[in-house]
């Protein structure tokens, strides 16, 4: 506790005590009553410890509810009880330090990856948390007007070696070792979950018309978009995508053209540079 | 009783009867443009974000007065004030031309933590002086008076040396701030702590009240939780009536935050306040004493 000006020292001590009591995992009534009576009065109906317990229960319920809303798929895969335990452990390690609840889950994916190794499927849970956190980030991201649908067509092939496309702010590109997007969709629709085993998948999360969307990508589309998002030129991005292609040159051209048209139609880029 | 404080001291307008702007009603509000007098937003849902809520708010603010109601000012905390939060709050208030901004007489955390709850302060001289200093600082920074809301609370501190209404009245006078009188909170706390809600109402400086809150709550028998769900109960309407007897009426808002029904139902519940407001504004006939000619 930092040194308080003498004029608020008693208040500071009381607030630190009260906060410590609220954050303490909810304990039996007898145990809670002992320290509470020093600072809190009983009511006609409740002893001091039970009055304090209203705040203790409220704290965990409120933050659990927030995390449940942000991590629907993690909860669906982990199960209700394990999810509650994971969130409780996460909040002890990463308590809210922000005036908004929006950033509460910012480190949940990293927490699951590094510190939840004793629960089943930690890698899948971490990937799902990464996807669901990306949705939150994209929801909150700065708006930027998207390129006109014909913007790519207006770029002369001779200029491809020096042209770059700037992605919108509200975009996150993700590669997974599980069917994260399909699991997230099923969890949101309350449908049976698809197989939870390993399978390489790619997804772009983006915002269009103020709604957050998720689009599955194949390896070629992912390489193409990843290169563009890294600031590579169109020519470099096309070369990166070509390395993932196993078919004919004609098929490659058609797939790249289709992918680019889809990216622009979905408003993934904001500028041609 | 004739109203003594017909106008609030700050000259804030009487906006009529409003409702809280909630996510589930965004579509309805934008498409139907319902005849609501005004909206109140939860400030923290619209600062530090660039998503759909801000886009919705910009459109709503073009058509309706929008008042900002915060939950994270933490005016009672012994942690330093968060001036980045205040900067963003000030910016949004200017942007949407908020008639006023409000928050709660509470604290939300210490040691850098935020418990995202409206935690109670002890009603002591030390705390009063502390909150007065901070309200003055905030008002100076925002360049406008703020309105503080009386909280619902579930504990009372052994160290408190005055009742909540005295603390609130002295705070408002000495910090020169406005009050948002939540009559449901008065009722909830009166039940939880066993005081007379009318004594509370009678002790409030009503010329400083710029807004009323009404809401439903959840009665657990041993205590009441300020859950903002369901309709306003008769006892709360009577507390509201008592307040109006002092003030003659102010901007009034219904909060409904759990199990939120269709917009029309929320608005209809809010409009029940009209009957009480009209009654309070109707001049009563003076009693004529029979006398001898």
B115–A59 CB contact, under 8 Å: yes
Smallest Cβ–Cβ distance between B110 and the set A15, A51, A169 belongs to A15
Measure the CA–CA gap between A213 and A211, rounded to whole angstroms.
6
Q: What is the DSSP letter of A105?
A: G
**Helical residues (DSSP H) of A150-248, grouped into ranges:** 180-188, 219-229, 234-242
| Closest chain B residue by Cα to residue A97 | B113
Give the span between the Cα atoms of A70 and B116, in whole angstroms.
17
Closest CA to B16 of B219, B225, B270, B227: B270
Range in A109-113, B24-28, B211-215, B288-292 the model is least confident about: B288-292
Amino acid A116: pLDDT = 81
**Per the domain annotation, does B10 fall within a domain?**
no
pLDDT band at A254 (very low <50, low <70, confident <90, very high): confident
Query: What is the domain count for chain B?
Result: 1
User: Facing residues of A40 across strands?
Assistant: B157
In a domain, B3, yes or no: no
B122 chain-A contacts, CB cut-off 8 A: 11, 14
For the record, the structure tokens of A30 come out as 């007898």
Alpha-carbon span B196 to A26, nearest angstrom:
32
Mean pLDDT of B256-282: 93
Whether B287 maps to a domain, the answer reads no
Q: How many domains does chain A have?
A: 1
pLDDT category, A3, cuts 50, 70, 90? low
A254 touches chain B (CB under 8 A): no
Q: pLDDT for B31-52, tens place per residue?
A: 999 999 999 999 999 998 999 9
Which among A125, A220, A109, A114 is positioned nearest to A180, based on CA atoms?
A125
Find the domain containing B130 and state its range: 17-281
The single-letter DSSP state of residue A164 is: B
Q: What is the pLDDT of residues A29-43, one digit of tens each?
A: 454 445 788 999 999
Mean local confidence (pLDDT), B176-198 = 98
Which residue reads 């890698």 in tokens? A123
A24 touches chain B (CB under 8 A): no
| Domain housing A155 | 141-273
Residue B269 within a domain? yes
Give CA–CA dist B193/B86, Å, rounded.
33
Domain at B273, CATH number = 3.20.20.150
B110: nearest CA partner in chain A: A16
A50 located within any domain: no
For residue B59 the two structure tokens come to 């459109």
> Strands, E, within chain B: which ranges?
17-20, 38-42, 66-69, 101-104, 146-149, 178-182, 209-215, 218-219, 224-225, 251-255
State which residue of chain B sits closest to A103, comparing Cα positions.
B48
The neighbour count for residue B112, using CB atoms within 10 Å, is 11
User: Residue B35, class by beta-carbon neighbours within 10 Å (0-12 exposed, 13-18 middle, 19+ buried)?
Assistant: exposed
Distance CA A99, CA B117 (A): 11
pLDDT value, residue A251: 85
Average the pLDDT over A167-196 and give the result: 98
Vertex A123 angle, CA A224 and A94, to 5°:
105
pLDDT confidence of residue B34? 98
Residue B291 located in a structural domain: no
CATH at A165: 3.90.930
Residue A49 pLDDT > 50, yes or no?
A: yes
What average pLDDT does the segment B119-145 reach? 98
- Return d(Cα B76, Cα B133) in angstroms, integer: 10
What pLDDT does residue B289 have? 53
Average pLDDT of chain A to the nearest whole number? 91
In a domain, A62, yes or no: no
Summarize pLDDT for B216-226 with one digit per residue, the tens.
999 999 999 99
Could you tell me if residue B8 is inside a domain?
no
End-to-end CA distance of chain A: 52
Sheet holding A171-178, edge to edge: A171-178, A198-208, A211-217
Vertex A203: Cα angle to A199 and A207 (nearest 5): 160
* Rg (alpha carbons) of chain B, rounded to whole number: 19
In this predicted structure, the answer to whether residue A228 has a pLDDT above a threshold of 90 is yes
Structural domain includes residue A68: no
pLDDT at position B291 is 43
B159 touches chain A (CB under 8 A): yes
Within 8 A of A41 by CB-CB distance, chain B residues are: 155-158
Q: Does the predicted TM-score (pTM) go above 0.90?
A: yes
Closest CA to B158 of A13, A31, A48, A55: A48
pLDDT for B83 beyond 70: yes
Nearest to B187 by CA among B139, B242, B132, B136: B242
Is residue A203 in a domain?
yes
In a domain, A215, yes or no: yes
- Assess B50–A contact: CB distance below 8 Å, yes or no: yes
B104 within a domain of the structure (yes/no): yes
Flag whether pLDDT at B275 surpasses 80: yes
Query: Which chain A residues touch B159 with a CB distance below 8 Å?
Result: 10, 14, 39
Q: Is residue B274 part of a domain?
A: yes
Residue B20 confidence (pLDDT): 98
How far apart, in whole angstroms, are the C-alpha atoms of residue B208 and residue A132? 46
């Amino acid at each position: 506790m930092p040194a308080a000006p003498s004029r608020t020292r008693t208040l500071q001590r009381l607030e630190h005590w009260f906060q410590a009591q609220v954050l303490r995992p909810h304990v039996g009534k007898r145990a809670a009553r002992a320290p509470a009576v020093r600072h809190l009065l009983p009511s006609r109906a409740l002893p001091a410890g039970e009055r304090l317990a209203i705040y203790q229960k409220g704290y965990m319920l409120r933050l659990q509810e927030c995390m449940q809303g942000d991590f629907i798929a993690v909860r669906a895969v982990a199960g209700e009880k394990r999810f509650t335990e994971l969130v409780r452990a996460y909040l002890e390690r990463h308590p809210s330090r922000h005036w908004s609840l929006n950033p509460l889950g910012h480190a949940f994916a990293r927490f699951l990856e590094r510190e939840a190794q004793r629960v089943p499927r930690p890698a899948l849970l971490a990937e799902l948390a990464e996807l669901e956190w990306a949705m939150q980030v994209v929801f909150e991201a700065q708006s930027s007007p998207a390129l006109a649908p014909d913007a790519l067509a207006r770029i002369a092939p001779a200029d491809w070696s020096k042209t770059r496309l700037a992605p919108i702010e509200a975009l996150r590109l993700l590669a997974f070792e599980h069917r994260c997007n399909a699991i997230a969709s099923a969890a949101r629709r309350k449908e049976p979950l698809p197989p939870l085993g390993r399978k390489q998948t790619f997804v772009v999360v983006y915002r269009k018309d103020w709604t957050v969307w998720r689009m599955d990508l194949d390896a070629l589309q992912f390489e193409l978009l990843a290169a563009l998002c890294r600031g590579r030129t169109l020519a470099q991005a096309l070369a990166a995508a070509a390395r993932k292609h196993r078919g004919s040159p004609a098929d490659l051209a058609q797939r790249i053209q289709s992918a680019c048209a889809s990216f622009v139609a979905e408003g993934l880029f904001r500028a041609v540079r | 009783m004739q109203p003594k404080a017909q106008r609030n001291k700050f000259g804030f307008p009487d906006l009529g009867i409003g409702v809280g702007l909630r996510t589930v009603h965004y579509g309805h509000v934008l498409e139907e443009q319902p005849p609501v007098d005004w909206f109140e937003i939860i400030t923290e849902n619209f600062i530090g974000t660039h998503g759909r809520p801000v886009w919705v708010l910009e459109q709503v603010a073009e058509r309706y007065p929008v008042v900002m109601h915060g939950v994270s000012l933490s005016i009672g905390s012994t942690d330093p004030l968060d001036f980045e939060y205040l900067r963003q709050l000030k910016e949004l208030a200017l942007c949407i031309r908020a008639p006023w901004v409000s928050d709660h007489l509470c604290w939300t955390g210490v040691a850098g933590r935020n418990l995202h709850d409206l935690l109670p302060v002890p009603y002591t001289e030390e705390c009063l002086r502390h909150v007065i200093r901070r309200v003055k600082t905030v008002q100076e920074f925002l360049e406008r008076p703020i309105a503080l809301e009386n909280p619902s609370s579930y504990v009372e501190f052994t160290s408190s040396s005055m009742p909540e209404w005295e603390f609130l009245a002295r705070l408002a006078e000495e910090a020169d701030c406005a009050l948002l009188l939540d009559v449901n909170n008065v009722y909830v706390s009166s039940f939880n702590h066993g005081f007379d809600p009318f004594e509370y109402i009678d002790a409030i400086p009503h010329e400083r009240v710029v807004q009323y809150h009404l809401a439903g709550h959840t009665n657990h028998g041993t205590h009441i939780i300020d859950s903002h769900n369901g309709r306003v109960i008769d006892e709360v309407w009577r507390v509201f009536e008592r307040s109006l007897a002092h003030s003659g009426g102010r901007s009034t808002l219904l909060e409904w935050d759990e199990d939120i029904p269709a917009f029309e139902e929320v608005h209809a519940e809010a409009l029940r306040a009209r009957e009480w407001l009209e009654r309070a504004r109707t001049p009563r006939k003076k009693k004529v004493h029979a006398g001898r000619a």
